[in-house]
């Protein structure tokens, strides 16, 4: 048993590394979420309402992304128009 | 004016009450008048860990509701004259802790004490937010384990946004990390997050590393804060943490595994 342990312990084990990597990703994601302005969901809903007055887009067609960079914040809007609209244009 | 310290974690079972009892006793032993308050309404346990469960007559909620005054509810510790315990209510609704009521009791305690240690319940519900709302300092108790580290990070977000200091744009709460149940041997084997791993993620002021220790259960069995066990590694580590909180620059003990010799490893010694 002691002898086995001795040889086994020389092999690299990685569960702590896995824990750290998973946590780093998760915590970065949690923090990004936390720092979003609270008006984002409303902004997204209202933009979608305006667009839907003119174009019949899907409820999930607008994505609003907020990113904080070193000196400025980026608010990114992504609107997917349906195929028929693109063909007409 | 007292300094208000919240002991918080998000996750349950990481050692908040053990830590609250140890830090409060440590501060009191060094001569500061200290009160320790149990905010876990409905699941009070601090009195058990402090060994004063049979002396509870009135509780925190009685004081908030003007059914008793502070002097009636505070329990003086039998081992240390500077230390008082304010137990939680066992039966009442947790909403009994109102922001105004808690503020009034803390204000009154502030007149006669140097430190007020608030033992937070687990979770991020009402009791936990009340425990941290008025804090000047926060000790975030974390185990080297994924869910505990994540919850601690979540608590840091709440401390930074939903406390009195945050709401009134005052200097933010000072945040400290206390890593508990640390097993240096498992860290060496790569099976447990190291102090550095946790610090890479949370990057807080490290108050202490408390080793996984049999002394903690022995102490809670007996109702004696583990810091009084000066023979134990955990007791000494809490003692160091109190020193660091008071500004002493102490090296971290119990962070590295004792090196076993070749033969003791070979024969499983």
Per-residue model confidence as pLDDT tens digits over B133-181: 999 999 999 999 999 999 999 999 999 999 999 999 999 999 999 999 9
Confidence of residue A8 (pLDDT cuts 50, 70, 90): low
∠B16-B19-B24 over CA atoms, to 5°? 125
Average pLDDT of the segment spanning B241-257 = 95
Spatial separation of the C-alpha atoms in residues B77 and B46, rounded to whole Å: 12
Give the model's pLDDT for residue A60: 78
pLDDT over 90, % of chain B: 90
Spatial separation of the C-alpha atoms in residues B214 and B212, rounded to whole Å: 7
Integer CA distances (angstroms), B232 to B79, B212, B251, in order: 18, 11, 17
Spatial separation of the C-alpha atoms in residues A63 and A41, rounded to whole Å: 10
Confidence of residue B58 (pLDDT cuts 50, 70, 90): very high
Q: Which residue has the higher pLDDT, B18 or B93?
A: B18
CB contact under 8 A, A20 and B153: no
Average pLDDT, chain B: 94
Confidence of residue B23 (pLDDT cuts 50, 70, 90): very high
B157 touches chain A (CB under 8 A): yes
Average pLDDT, chain A: 78
Spatial separation of the C-alpha atoms in residues A79 and A64, rounded to whole Å: 9
User: For B59, left (φ over 0), alpha (ψ -120 to 50), or beta?
Assistant: beta
* pLDDT tens figures, B184-232: 999 999 999 999 999 999 999 999 999 999 999 999 999 999 999 999 9
Residues of chain A found within 8 Å of residue B189, distances taken between Cβ atoms: 9, 13
Q: For residue A18, what are the contacts with CB-CB under 8 A and spacing of at least 6?
A: none
Interface residues from chain A to B (CB-CB < 8 Å): 1-3, 5-6, 9, 12-17, 19-20, 22-24, 26-27, 30-31, 34
As for the ipTM of the complex, it is: 0.82
Strands B174-182 and B75-76: unpaired
Check whether B264 has a pLDDT greater than 90: no
Confidence of residue B55 (pLDDT cuts 50, 70, 90): very high
Give the model's pLDDT for residue A81: 82
Spatial separation of the C-alpha atoms in residues B267 and A2, rounded to whole Å: 4
Spatial separation of the C-alpha atoms in residues B37 and B88, rounded to whole Å: 7
User: For B211, left (φ over 0), alpha (ψ -120 to 50), or beta?
Assistant: beta
To the nearest 5 percent, what fractions of chain B are helix, strand and coil?
45, 15, 40
Check whether B234 has a pLDDT greater than 80: yes
Confidence of residue B265 (pLDDT cuts 50, 70, 90): low
Average pLDDT of the segment spanning A50-77 = 81
Instruction: Note whether B173 and B136 are within 8 A (CB).
Output: yes
Q: Which residue has the higher pLDDT, A83 or A27?
A: A27
The radius of gyration of chain B's CA atoms, rounded to the nearest angstrom, is 18
Spatial separation of the C-alpha atoms in residues B36 and B120, rounded to whole Å: 11
Angle between the N-to-C axes of helices B16-29 and B233-245, in degrees from 0 to 180, rounded to the nearest 10: 60
In chain B, DSSP assigns E strands to 3-8, 34-38, 75-76, 83-86, 115-119, 137-142, 174-182, 205-211
Interface test with B, best of A9, A11, A12, A27 (most B CBs within 10 A): A27
Average pLDDT of the segment spanning B56-84 = 96
Check whether A57 has a pLDDT greater than 70: yes
Question: pTM higher than 0.90, yes or no?
Answer: no
∠B43-B32-B122 over CA atoms, to 5°? 20
The token pair at B41 is 């309404």
Of A9, A30, A34, which is closest to B189 when you measure between CB atoms? A9
Q: For residue B179, what are the contacts with CB-CB under 8 A and spacing of at least 6?
A: B142, B143, B144, B195, B198, B206, B208, B209, B210
């Amino acid at each position: 048993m002691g002898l086995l342990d001795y040889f086994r312990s020389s092999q690299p084990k990685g569960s702590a590394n896995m824990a750290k990597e998973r946590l780093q990703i998760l915590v970065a994601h949690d923090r990004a979420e936390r720092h979003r302005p609270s008006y984002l969901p409303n902004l997204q809903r209202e933009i979608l309402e305006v667009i839907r007055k003119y174009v019949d887009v899907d409820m999930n067609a607008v994505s609003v992304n907020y990113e904080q960079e070193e000196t400025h914040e980026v608010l990114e809007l992504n609107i997917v128009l349906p195929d028929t609209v693109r063909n007409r244009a | 004016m007292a300094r208000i310290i919240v002991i918080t974690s998000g996750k349950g079972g990481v050692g908040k009450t053990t830590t609250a009892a140890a830090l409060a006793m440590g501060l009191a032993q060094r001569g500061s008048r200290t009160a320790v308050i149990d905010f876990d309404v409905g699941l009070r346990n601090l009195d058990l860990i402090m060994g004063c469960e049979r002396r509870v007559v009135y509780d925190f909620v009685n004081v908030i509701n003007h059914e008793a005054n502070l002097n009636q509810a505070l329990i003086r510790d039998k081992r240390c004259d500077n230390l008082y315990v304010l137990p939680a209510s066992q039966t009442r609704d947790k909403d009994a802790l109102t922001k105004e009521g808690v503020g009034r009791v803390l204000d009154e305690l502030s007149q006669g004490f140097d430190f007020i240690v608030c033992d937070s319940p687990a979770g991020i519900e009402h009791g936990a937010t009340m425990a941290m709302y008025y804090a000047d300092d926060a000790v975030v108790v974390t185990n080297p384990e994924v869910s505990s580290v994540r919850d601690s990070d979540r608590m840091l977000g709440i401390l930074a946004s939903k406390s009195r200091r945050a709401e009134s744009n005052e200097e933010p709460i000072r945040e400290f990390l206390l890593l508990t149940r640390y097993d240096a041997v498992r860290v060496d084997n790569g099976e447990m997050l190291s102090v550095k791993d946790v610090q890479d993620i949370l990057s807080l002021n490290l108050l202490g590393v408390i080793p996984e220790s049999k002394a903690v259960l022995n102490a809670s069995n007996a109702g004696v804060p583990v810091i009084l066990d000066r023979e134990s590694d955990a007791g000494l580590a809490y003692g160091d943490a109190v020193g660091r909180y008071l500004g002493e620059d102490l090296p971290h003990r119990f962070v590295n595994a004792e090196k076993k010799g070749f033969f003791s490893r070979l024969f499983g010694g």
